Amino acid sequence: MKTIEAPIQKKEIRIPSNRLKHSFTILLLISIIWLSGWKVEFSITSLINGLPNMVDLLVELFPPDLSYINNVTQPMLETIRMAVLGTTFGAIISIPIALCSARNVATLPIISIPSRFLLNLVRTIPDLLLAAFFVAVFGIGALPGIFALTIFSVGIIAKLTYEAIENIDPGPLEAMTAVGANKIKWITYGVIPQVLSQFMSFVLYTFEVNVRAAAVLGLVGAGGIGLYYERTLGFFEYDKTSTIILFTLIVVLIIDYLSTKIRERLI
């Protein structure tokens, strides 16, 4: 610690010296950023060189080829299907996992700790990775996409739900113990009525996220409209690509809007 002399009292006052720590942190950050830039081969020149390419690309993206919508309507419906099923299965599986992870319901650490650990594990894996994995197992199609979305959904819904469960009013839980309910009845009549509407809200939110995710899972062969990105980009048919993008955007916006409206009613 540095010390200075107080001018009036003539006493030594200690001043906490963060300067060293600050400088070190900043130096560390700058070196991390620099090294990253070097590793990635970041160069402004290639960006500037690439700029005309990007402009060309943007030009070719507009106007979108709207007639292409006929081709992609079916895949878009498949995308939505995948999202619906993935979210539903994920929601069902989330219920026991969330109950096992909530410390006020699963009072034994031997149940709650592994349960949370499993959940955290699942949440580290990105959705596209899950999809790629399932495609390798089940082959190309919508099925791996549904599996991937199911697991992805469990990660989101179970975490949000168990946090909600841990925040409920313990009063009704006490009442159910007093009434002579066993654990399951206790959960059904004490816990569930308190978290049901929040749970539904989480499920709808996850559905929103899943629609976006499902739209790109096709890139790895997991069904839906994503497949067509590769096709159109590969053939340089950028106007068709922008149709896909636009279509996805519109569907996502509509579903977001509807879902938000329903969620407002739930609370």
Partner 1 sequence: MAQTFTSTPVKQKNPLRKWIIIISICFVYIWAFSGMPIIQIKETSSEVISSIFAGLFQPDWDYVYDPAGEDLLRGLLDTLAIAVLGTVIAAVLCIPFSFLAASNMSRGKVFSGSGKFILSFIRVFPEIVMALLFIKAVGPGAFAGVLALGINSIGMLGKLFSEEIESLDLGPKEALIATGANPIKAIWFSVIPQILPSFLSFVIYRFEINVRSATILGIIGAGGIGTPLIFALSVRDWERVGVILLGIILMVVIIDFISGKIRERLT
Partner 2 sequence: MIEFKNVSKIYPNGTVGLNNINLTINKGEFVVIVGLSGAGKSTLLRSINRLHEITSGEIFINGKSITRAKGKELYRMRRDIGMIFQNFNLVKRSTVIRNVLSGRVGYHSTLRMLLGLFPKHDKELALKALERVNILDKAYNRADQLSGGQQQRVSIARALAQEAKIILADEPVASLDPITTKQVMDDLKKINQELGITIVVNLHFIDLAREYATRIIGLRGGEIVFDDTVANATDETFNKIYGKPLEKQDVVVMSK
- Contact positions vs partner 2 (CB under 8 A): 169, 171-172, 174-182, 184-185, 188-190, 193-194, 196-197
Residue 43 interacts with partner 1 (CB under 8 A): yes or no: yes
Residue 119 interacts with partner 1 (CB under 8 A): yes or no: no
Q: Is 3 helix (H, G, I), strand (E, B) or coil?
A: strand
Residue 81 interacts with partner 1 (CB under 8 A): yes or no: yes
Binding-site partner at residue 77 among partner 1, partner 2, none, CB < 5 to 8 Å by type: partner 1
Which of 191-196's residues contact partners 24+ apart within 8 Å by CB, and which partners? 191/99, 191/105, 191/165, 194/168, 194/169, 195/161, 195/164, 195/165, 195/168
Residue 40 interacts with partner 1 (CB under 8 A): yes or no: yes
Show Cβ contacts of residue 118 under 8 Å, excluding neighbours closer than 6 positions: 97
Binding-site partner at residue 34 among partner 2, partner 1, none, CB < 5 to 8 Å by type: none
Q: What would the DSSP string read from start to end of 10-63?
A: --EEEE---HHHHHHHHHHHHHHHHHHHHHHT--HHHHHHHHHHHHHHHHHHSS
Residue 196 interacts with partner 1 (CB under 8 A): yes or no: no
Contacting residue, 13, 66, 249, 266, with partner 1 by CB under 8 A = 249
Residue 27 interacts with partner 1 (CB under 8 A): yes or no: no
Query: Of the candidates 149, 132, 130, 133, which has an alpha carbon nearest to the alpha carbon of residue 220?
Result: 132
Range 129-159 burial, b when 16+ CB lie within 10 A, else e: ebbbbbbeebeeebbbbbbbbbbbbbbbbbb
Q: Which is nearer to partner 2, 114 or 171 (CB)?
A: 171
From the list 81-89, 100-108, 152-160, 163-171, the region that binds partner 1 by CB under 8 A is 81-89
Site for partner 1, rule CB under 8 A: 32-33, 35-37, 39-43, 46-47, 50-51, 53-54, 57, 77-78, 81, 84-85, 88, 120-121, 124-129, 132-133, 135-138, 141-143, 146, 212, 215-216, 219-220, 226, 229, 233, 245, 248-249, 252-253
